[in-house]
Amino acid sequence: MSETAPDCIFCKIVAGEVPADVLGRNDHAVSIKDLNPQAPFHALVISVDHHDNAAASAAADPASVGHLVSLADEVAKASGNGDYRLIANTGAGAGQTVFHTHLHVLGGSSRMSETLV
């Protein structure tokens, strides 16, 4: 049984109550295009279960984060991005604005270096 939060925008996207440009899905996650892209390819991979962040998801079910990474890899490669960056912001101080586990998948830029955070 999936955990949800009634006022969470990502829970509503996962449930299909809010439209989004879906790039892929599996039993554990949904990937959508980011509305405010920070790279030529910028997708979100959203956990089906509601937890505040990736650490909370991993604490509840360690395999859940692996399912997110697997879908991130699938949508990145399907878009022609074999090289990509995964970002999981944890907490407002790290830039997290939606408190539901999700990964940012960034690709398509030759400017991605170790110094780009």
Each residue of 7-37: pLDDT tens digit?
Answer: 999 999 999 999 999 999 999 999 999 999 9
* Domain 9-107: assigned CATH number: 3.30.428.10
Each residue of 54-102: pLDDT tens digit?
Answer: 999 999 999 999 999 999 999 999 999 999 999 999 999 999 999 999 9
- pTM of the complete model beyond 0.75: yes
Task: Give me the pLDDT at residue 105, please.
Answer: 98
Residues 6+ apart with CB under 8 A from 67: 26, 27, 28, 29
Task: Residue 18: name the closest of 27, 28, 30, 26 by CA.
Answer: 30
Coil, strand or helix at 78? helix
Task: Give me the pLDDT at residue 1, please.
Answer: 40
Per the annotation, the verdict on 102 as an active-site residue is: yes
**Which of 50, 100, 102, 104 is flagged as catalytic?**
102
